[in-house]
Amino acid sequence: MFIKRYITGPIEVNTYLVADEETKDAIIIDLGGSWDEIKRDAGNLGFKINYILLTHGHFDHILGIAQMQKTENIPVLMNEKDMVYIENLPLMLSHFRINSDVTSIKVDKFIDETSELKVGNYPVKILSTPGHTPGGQSYIIDGNLFCGDSLFRHSVGRTDLKGGSHAELINSIKTKLFILPPSTPVYPGHVDFTTIEDEIENNIFVR
């Protein structure tokens, strides 16, 4: 399994290129800004990007999609409950004083825990992890957890924005993420990597 992080967009989102090195099938998780480097790397490695997964619909995790959709037709997948953020993208950008000419993006398919996805030979397990947003989702691929803004290293995602719920977020973390094997690598939506074990022992926000 190939995993590479790119820091993209105005709020430094962790965007991930994930691929099956045998089949050369690849996906992108949370395209927060320019995808030029990702596209170049994928081409150099012979990867075919089959779709883009969104952990949630906040603007900082989707801004690069508009650039991609000008020239490419890569399907974008997310949970339908977060479409409110996509539909109100200009308002969100204005609220955070982000200068961008992006007014909309196209979402091609809605997914949830019942959906079946793969990256090459690797199944993608979808976990519903609401709290940061109503439609927040995490993904497990080859034992690696991609959790967006639900869980950070020694912290958790903010819940003061529209649709957020602190109680729901903590419940998602405790019942969906903290039951995973302790050694599970955690790839969050911002800042540093961590593990489930480290968060169970050291994350004071979830105790």
Where do the domains of the chain lie, and which CATH numbers do they carry? 2-202 (3.60.15.10)
Q: List, for residues 63-85, the tens digit of each pLDDT value.
A: 999 889 999 999 999 999 999 99
Range in 8-22, 25-39, 45-59, 88-102 with the lowest mean pLDDT: 88-102
Least confident of 61-75, 144-158, 170-184: 61-75
- What residue spans of 72-165 are helical by DSSP H? 83-87, 89-95
Burial of 11 (0-12, 13-18, 19+ CB in 10 A): middle
For residue 91, pLDDT beyond 80: no
Q: Looking at residue 96, what is its pLDDT?
A: 73
Per-residue pLDDT reduced to its tens digit, 15-43: 999 999 999 999 999 999 989 999 999 99
Cβ-based neighbours of 204, under 8 Å, separated by 6 or more = 154
Residue, of 64 and 104, whose pLDDT is higher: 64
Cα distances (Å, whole numbers) of residue 182 to 39, 104, 179: 33, 39, 8
At residue 122, the pLDDT reads 98
Rounded to two decimals, what is the model's pTM?
Answer: 0.96
